[in-house]
């Protein structure tokens, strides 16, 4: 599945696979992939979140949405998209771990026992109700499930998060729309977003910092689209 979605570029939005090797002792097969010195995006954010600006966060989101668009264009569904399955390279991020990836026409009921896989907070509600995976389930996972408590987030970002987390999968945006919104926010509506970012970061800088707080914030890594100054929660 990796090979179907990887583009021919140094910076890849889906991690490159170079081949397969075999452990001489256990005889287990292993895939040889790009080496990500920084590890997963979750690990990277746990250590560096307070050093990152919103320009970097939006650029990472663009990379993730572009990678997901490549997966969906091949009529595939990742089915296990979460922050631990995104690798952080020096200048970009890439989606990895396509082990649960299936074609869009794969019928869970016909091909396997009725089991739910993945990291629970990132699993769409319709999947927990026993429905088949769709591209919209990946969108829910992309939206993550943040609990911002008193962390202030630009309202432009909050609006898109809410759309991605809509309980009705038909109401969630397509990944192409998400990419377009993030692109516009990054390069065309930068001034409007920057005003919201400045206000949000002024509030954030006055708050205490802790590791647990940073883990919650890392789940904020998402998207945006029009609105007020900032918001502190999502319902």
DSSP string, 157-186: HHHHHHHHT-SSGGGSPPHHHHHHHHHHHH
- Domain contains 219: yes
Four-residue CA torsion sign, 199, 201, 205, 211: positive
Contact 105, 215 (CB under 8 A): no
- Domain contains 25: no
- Domain contains 3: no
What pLDDT is attached to residue 106?
81
- Domain contains 17: no
Tens digits of per-residue pLDDT, 169-196?
A: 999 999 999 999 998 887 766 677 777 7
Give me 56's structure tokens. Answer: 């970097």
Of the candidate ranges 2-16, 17-31, 58-72, 89-103, the one whose mean pLDDT is the lowest:
2-16
Q: Write the CATH number for 153.
A: 1.10.510.10
Domain count, the chain: 1
Tens digits of per-residue pLDDT, 65-90?
A: 999 999 999 999 999 999 999 999 99
- Domain contains 16: no
**What is the domain extent for residue 131?**
37-231
pTM score? 0.76
The residues facing 22 across adjacent strands are: 29
- Domain contains 29: no
Percentage of residues of the chain with pLDDT beyond 70: 70
Burial (CB count <10 Å: 0-12, 13-18, 19+), residue 24: exposed
- Domain contains 128: yes
- Domain contains 11: no
Query: How high does pLDDT run on average in the chain?
Result: 78
């Amino acid at each position: 599945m990796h090979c179907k979605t990887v583009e021919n570029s140094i910076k890849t939005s889906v991690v490159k696979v170079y081949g397969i090797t075999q452990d001489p002792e256990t005889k287990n097969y292993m895939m040889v992939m790009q080496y990500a010195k920084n590890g997963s995006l979750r690990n990277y954010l746990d250590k560096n979140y307070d050093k990152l600006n919103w320009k970097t966060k939006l650029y990472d989101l663009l990379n993730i949405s572009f990678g997901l668009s490549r997966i969906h264009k091949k009529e595939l569904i990742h089915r296990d998209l979460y922050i631990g399955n995104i690798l952080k390279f020096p200048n970009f991020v890439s989606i990895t771990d396509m082990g649960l990836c299936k074609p869009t026409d794969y019928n869970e009921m016909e091909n396997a026992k009725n089991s739910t896989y993945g990291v629970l907070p990132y699993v769409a509600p319709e999947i927990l109700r026993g429905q088949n995976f769709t591209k919209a389930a990946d969108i829910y996972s992309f939206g993550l499930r943040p609990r911002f408590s008193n962390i202030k987030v630009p309202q432009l970002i909050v609006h898109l998060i809410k759309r991605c987390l809509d309980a009705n999968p038909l109401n969630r945006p397509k990944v192409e729309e998400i990419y377009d919104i993030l692109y516009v926010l990054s390069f065309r509506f930068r001034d409007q977003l920057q005003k919201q970012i400045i206000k949000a970061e002024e509030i954030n800088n006055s708050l205490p910092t802790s590791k647990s707080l940073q883990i919650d914030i890392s789940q904020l890594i998402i998207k945006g689209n029009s609105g007020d100054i900032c918001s502190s929660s999502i319902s």
